[in-house]
Amino acid sequence: MSEFELIRRYFCSEILQPERRDVCLGIGDDCALISVPEGKQLVVSVDTSVAGVHFPEDADPYDIGWRALAVSLSDLAAMGAKPAWFTLALTLPEGKGEWLESFSQGISDLARRFGIALVGGDTTRGALSVTVQVQGYVSPGAAWKRSGAKPGDLIYVSGPLGEAAGGLEVVLNPELDLPEYQSLKQAYLRPEPRFDLLSSLSGRVRAAIDISDGFLADLNHVLKASGVGAVLDPGRIPISSSLKSLFGEDRAFEMAISGGDDYQLCFMISPKRRLELEVCADQCHLQLYPVGVITSTPGIEGLNHFNSAGFDHFGRNN
Amino acid sequence: MSEFELIRRYFCSEILQPERRDVCLGIGDDCALISVPEGKQLVVSVDTSVAGVHFPEDADPYDIGWRALAVSLSDLAAMGAKPAWFTLALTLPEGKGEWLESFSQGISDLARRFGIALVGGDTTRGALSVTVQVQGYVSPGAAWKRSGAKPGDLIYVSGPLGEAAGGLEVVLNPELDLPEYQSLKQAYLRPEPRFDLLSSLSGRVRAAIDISDGFLADLNHVLKASGVGAVLDPGRIPISSSLKSLFGEDRAFEMAISGGDDYQLCFMISPKRRLELEVCADQCHLQLYPVGVITSTPGIEGLNHFNSAGFDHFGRNN
């Protein structure tokens, strides 16, 4: 089977092209044609994952596919958008059927979960890298921007931090690959874009970002965009017992505030909305973690008594 | 200046982000926000250009930028769409200021010509490659698909063919880099997406494709999608005198029918529309070349007396 046929086989499947009313013409022509639903804004993000930089060269192709799509989808989740469709630009050294089958399965399994369609793509020869552009919809004015945080707002994160940084260590050090650390490994290899938060947070979020660079670095993006500062309560930063048991309290804390790739959301809400948010999250069995407060003084306070390694990394991210 | 600053400097410029009513939020947040104009369909295409495959590793970064955007825009032109905005995913080994400045200039110069905005991007470390996703608009039902050709339709091409294939030879062989062959070189390095045809062709085209793989290969994509065949008149295939003088009649002809990267359009119109099309094209000082007719018999006829090299390449493209 030629590479062209392989690609058609794995990427033009019905699974990757579910029927969607907005997709008028999918893969196979010069372009795709989309009818954006009336009264919706289009939300767009693009991310490239490079072998040896964003994932190990010899990673399971299923995970490479899953992760490349997840990382890009996470940006939509961070804007409060509903995912709709995506394009895939895959550069690979050679088109092996087995590799492509597993890679496309990873992409399909995640795409199917949200009913999103692959509408276009390009496959080229070269060093392995994957570029995914995702599109979703949001009602006008409803997108969660980075610039909306106000002094007094509560800062939340959507789950334990540092999991992916810990997971990467497990991936790179096979002697750590024990049953009790599989949740860390999964957090790194198969991150879950947090669309499950959408209904609870909708209409309540003032600013949001997904944690890809690391909690402090990403929080800082929000603070700068909003022209505000923050006071954190380090004791409230959620850290899993697995991470602490594997790396010890100090290193686990450093990973939680500086490690990237968690793809949890960090968001701000007005304190007036706290009760309704927490009731709503409870009803949806979601656990949310308040970790600090927005202030009018630029910078981040509250971490002074923690080790300098964290601060150093923080400094470098800015 | 850090790489982050370099990228901000060259890609967040006002030139690359002109004010557009449809772009509600550009670069700088998790996602861009777009309000697609009411009553328009969105037209989407993505293309990756890899160093050493789609352009020489040491090519002028200005040309790399220009070409990467042009190649992607050409797909919009082939659908009869008006270009609107794009995203850029750039993977590069190291972020040198000079390289980035020239690269972004190439992109800006082409983008500015059509008033299109860069709304999002990602810059990653790795082997040099550029992925551009372009979006444009079209009225519902007005897109030129590959599947609309009917027996009796006339087949046109929008300009001389084989120019880029000849230009690549000039680029690869510095002894050919003479003043009289600069037009060939330009055709390869700085292709022009044919949006200038839009108003003349609008409402008249039954099917279209841009010539990226080579004329016969791309014509065949249309024939297959439309379930038809074609008879060509080889004497009418436009070939420049530069191409003929550099490579001789036979090789020039082979390049014209099989060479890729021309980014001219190949389109089909009903014979009833011929006169109005040609009058309209004349008024716009556009030269169009009728090269054959669509038939109901699958396959391409009319090339029998030409050398086998052309056929061989043709065979390999199918």
For chain B, list residues with pLDDT below 70: 1-4, 305-318
CB nearest to B122's CB, from A24, A46, A145: A46
| Domain extents in chain B | 3-138, 146-316
Range in A6-10, A110-114, B41-45, B286-290 with the lowest mean pLDDT: A6-10
What is the residue whose two structure tokens read 């551009």?
Answer: B132
**What are the beta bridge partners of residue B137?**
B42, B82
Rounded to a whole number of angstroms, the distance from the CA of B171 to the nearest CA of chain A is 21
Residue A87 structure tokens: 């394009």
- DSSP-derived secondary structure letter, A17: S
Residue range B3-138 forms a domain whose CATH class is: alpha beta
Is B41:B143 a contact under the CB 8 Å cutoff?
yes
State residue B2's pLDDT score. Answer: 65
Strand-strand pairing, B229-232 and B299-301: parallel
pLDDT, position B316:
35
Look at residue A27 in the predicted model and tell me its pLDDT: 87
B7, B11, B20, B31: best to mutate for the A interface, most A CBs within 10 A: B31
pLDDT tens for A115-167 read 999 999 899 999 999 999 999 999 999 999 999 999 999 999 999 999 999 99
Please tell me the number of Cα atoms within 13 Å of A19 on its side-chain side: 0
Q: Does A209 touch chain B (CB under 8 A)?
A: yes
Residue B131 to residue A122, Cβ atoms within 8 A: yes
CB contact under 8 A, B30 and A146: yes
Mean of per-residue pLDDT scores for chain A: 91
CB of A5 within 8 Å of any CB in chain B? no
Q: How many residues does chain B have?
A: 318
Extract the tokens encoding B7. Answer: 């990228």
Q: Which of A31, A53, A131 sits opposite B76 (nearest CB)?
A: A31
The answer to whether residue A233 scores a pLDDT higher than 70 is yes
CB-based contact B246:B181 (threshold 8 Å): yes
Do A78 and B36 count as a contact with CB atoms less than 8 A apart?
no
| pLDDT tens by residue, A261-312 | 999 999 999 999 999 999 999 999 999 999 999 999 999 999 875 543 333 3
Minimal Cβ distance to B31: which of A30, A76, A225: A76
One-letter amino acid of A95: G
**Cα–Cα distance measured from residue A38 to residue A241, given in angstroms and rounded to the nearest whole number:** 47
Instruction: Look at residue B19 in the predicted model and tell me its pLDDT.
Output: 83
Percent of chain A's residues with pLDDT above 70:
94
Structure tokens at B55: 């352009």
**AA identity, residue A130:** V
Name the CATH superfamily housing domain A146-316.
PurM-like C-terminal domain (3.90.650.10)
Mean pLDDT of A243-259: 96
Cα angle B188-B193-B199, degrees, rounded to a multiple of 5? 150
Nearest CA in chain B to A318: B4
Which residues of A fall within a CB distance of 8 Å from B29? 79, 145-147, 225
Q: Using a CB–CB cutoff of 8 Å, tell me whether B312 touches chain A.
A: no
- Here the ipTM equals 0.89
Of A218, A90, A81, A79, nearest in space to A157 by CA = A218
Instruction: Tell me which chain A residues have a C-beta less than 8 angstroms from the C-beta of B21.
Output: none
Q: Distance between CA atoms of B261 and B54, rounded to whole angstroms?
A: 9
